[in-house]
A and B are shown apart, each in its own frame.
Chain A
């Protein structure tokens, strides 16, 4: 973990209200692993007390990127970053996705939750590991990838304007209802809580290993403030314990196996 002044390489809208900022951050880039995040000071004189944590969406040649939607004051400032802007970031923070041996990856991203999924997908693509990628959005204009089922890339939209109509669960069902010899699927997902809880249930019903990267309110990003607690499933001796009933998303996560947590 370092506090690095990154320099903005580019920052533009890649789909309807979906933005990608590429930052030159050599030190964080050198250390970062898929699943990890950075904690961002949106502007130098940021009047609020919390940085804005965001997953790393890509990492190559000293450059990392984030994908975000403009939803509030912080992301509004971030969308104003210009090429060459200097940005104060802390990272890389958090854990990483599990090691894959012979498991078959199904990667699922919903909304800006696609960010840590794309970074993981980059790793699989560069290592030539076959996988499926599902991306869900409300409508077609929010997608920035092409629906390409033959390549294992499935897009879903709530309104059916692109890809499969419905949630990412429809795409998961499509994969599981297609005859296949693959037995050892493993899901890695990130997105809104309702989507992740639906995937958690699906994985449980089909007895599939499932990992999710969670988003919570967070202040420090490295275990000090204890604000980003996640309730764990196993809490048998929680009577007098620490971080057994509640994990911290920033240092115990953000990646958790779904059978270890109560809710996503």
Chain B
């Protein structure tokens, strides 16, 4: 089950922050789900290969040539904050 400390670690990884009043309920919901998933522990899966994709997939490449892409205006269209050809964000350093 997920402890409070592990939850804090996950928050950092996921870049999420839960409010104090949410965290209790959230923890118990997550643990409910993990409890249900314990049914998988009884399975012997050693003889089965991991399957990432239901198709036997073949990688698809394209030629390394420059193709038509989007204009700067289109790329910046949905930017919350932009200047010239840049996305503007809070100071990093």
Partners in one complex: no
Q: Could you list which residues of chain B lie within 8 angstroms of chain A, going by C-beta atoms?
A: none
